[in-house]
């Protein structure tokens, strides 16, 4: 007689659980435990930085093997539904529906990508989920296919939803035109507008509906303009008593309440006085510089996204702030020119808040070679990545071969901010001085 097999395998996780584990890996932990996990990961990063600096001949070991004191993780004021921006993909769902709007489980490399609805994901607000649900309903009615692989055709692509504490909602729909002519495109845009203004999508009460024709994974506004189909061109956010205008592709911290806490700490650590000049590198819509403008004599912002600079200038004017100037362009092109001719006697404090790609070497070199900058705040959402290279470049000994003449910086204090509850990520603020 054959024995019945006893299965020792773990119970199969639902698709919802798999997605929650992929997007918000700490979702099952009580919040205090999440903060402890993040503290430990930041501690390891500072230990790594200390040992890397030691390899460069710089004595950086402090108690615990850290390169500088590490404060406890500053908690987020909001733990659930805190995201003000969500990006939803369109792909095959667990049931095989190729017009599922959600987030990915699996990887392209493994060829096991499945798009799962995000209705249960804890860091996404209900408004974003509602817009995603309506978009799925719209494309399910459309005779046009979703665009899963560009070369295989199809049109409907991702959805970005942005919301603000003022109650504004912006939806941006990305569409692959393939071979469609202008008339057919116009018809699709008209249907989309009708659905979200007078059809079932009207429940979303969109402030702005944008459409972007894109033949690449990502296109900037300059490469392929965002087309306003309905509503206002911008949405507005309030932060630290100021009002900010947000364009479709402008950077804004994803956790508004957390950003307020972070920017208040930036103000304290800058030690800015009435005659300080604040250099805000990768300034986005100007949030950091404008929130500190009252404390300093001047703010100079640098940002690559042209529309964000337009927003920053509008934000300054609207809030009656006149001591700010903003420069549009790549920081590696703008900053060396700006600092090479720097002859201002006022103290200069730099704040950098780059993307995950970190700062270009020419930016670091310009900061190092400008002797007026004695204090630098580096805010990083991925300190273990390219930012680590920047930390080493800021602190290494002068190197004539690399045209690095300026006196090195030293890390003095690290403060992690939990801008992303339920995920493993943290925003780390490192204070460097020389």
Q: Closest by alpha carbon to 25, among 430, 420, 340? A: 420
- Tell me how far apart the alpha carbons of residues 74 and 419 are, in angstroms, rounded to a whole number: 9
- Are the C-beta atoms of 121 and 110 separated by less than 8 Å? no
Joined together, the tokens standing for residue 60 give 């950086």
**Strand partners for 404:** 399
- 374: three-class secondary structure by DSSP: strand
DSSP state of 345: -
How many beta carbons lie within 10 A of that of residue 296, not counting itself?
22
How many beta carbons lie within 10 A of that of residue 99, not counting itself?
23
- Are the C-beta atoms of 132 and 156 separated by less than 8 Å? no
DSSP state of 102: E
Q: At CB < 8 A and 24+ separation, what contacts does 1-5 make?
A: none
Which amino acids are annotated catalytic? 381
Please, what is the Cα angle at 299 between 294 and 305, to 5 degrees?
Answer: 125
- Are the C-beta atoms of 296 and 272 separated by less than 8 Å? yes
For the chain, how big is the Rg over CA atoms in Å? Answer: 24
Residue list, annotated binding site: 253, 303, 353
Residue list, annotated binding site for S-adenosyl-L-methionine: 253, 303, 353
């Amino acid at each position: 007689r054959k024995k019945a097999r006893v299965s020792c395998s773990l119970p199969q996780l639902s698709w919802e659980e798999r997605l929650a584990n992929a997007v918000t890996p700490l979702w099952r932990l009580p919040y205090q435990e999440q903060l402890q996990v993040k503290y430990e990961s930041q501690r390891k990063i500072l230990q790594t930085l200390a040992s890397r600096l030691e390899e460069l001949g710089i004595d950086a070991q402090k108690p615990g093997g850290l390169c500088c004191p590490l404060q406890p993780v500053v908690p987020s004021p909001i733990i659930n539904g805190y995201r003000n921006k969500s990006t939803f993909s369109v792909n095959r769902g667990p049931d095989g529906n190729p017009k599922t709007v959600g987030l990915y489980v699996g990887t392209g490399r493994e060829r096991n990508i499945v798009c799962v609805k995000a209705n249960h994901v804890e860091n996404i607000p209900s408004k974003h989920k509602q817009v995603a649900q309506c978009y799925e309903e719209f494309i399910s009615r459309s005779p046009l296919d979703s665009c899963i692989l560009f070369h295989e055709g199809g049109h409907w692509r991702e959805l970005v939803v942005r919301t603000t504490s003022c109650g504004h909602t912006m939806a941006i729909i990305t569409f692959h035109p393939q071979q469609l002519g202008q008339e057919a495109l116009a018809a699709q845009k008209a249907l989309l507008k009708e659905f979200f203004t007078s059809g079932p999508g009207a429940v979303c009460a969109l402030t702005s509906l944008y459409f972007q024709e894109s033949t690449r994974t990502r296109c900037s506004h300059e490469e392929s303009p965002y087309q306003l189909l309905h509503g206002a061109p911008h949405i507005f956010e309030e932060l630290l008593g100021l009002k900010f205008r947000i364009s479709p592709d402008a950077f804004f911290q994803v956790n508004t309440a957390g950003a307020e806490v972070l920017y208040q700490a930036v103000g304290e650590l800058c030690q800015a006085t009435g005659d300080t000049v604040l250099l805000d590198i990768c300034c986005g819509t100007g949030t950091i510089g404008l929130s500190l403008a009252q404390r300093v004599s001047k703010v100079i912002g640098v940002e690559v996204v042209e529309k964000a600079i337009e927003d920053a200038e509008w934000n300054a004017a609207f809030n009656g702030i006149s001591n700010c100037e903003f420069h549009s362009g790549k920081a590696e092109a703008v900053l060396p020119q700006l600092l090479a001719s720097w002859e201002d006697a006022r103290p200069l404090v730099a704040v950098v808040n780059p993307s995950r790609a970190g700062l270009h070497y020419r930016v670091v070199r310009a900061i190092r070679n400008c002797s007026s900058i004695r204090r630098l705040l580096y805010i990083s959402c991925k300190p273990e990545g390219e930012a680590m290279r920047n930390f080493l470049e800021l602190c290494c000994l002068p190197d004539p071969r690399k045209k690095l003449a300026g006196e090195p910086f030293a890390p003095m204090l690290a403060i992690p901010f939990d801008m992303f509850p339920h995920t493993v990520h943290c925003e780390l603020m490192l204070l460097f001085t020389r």
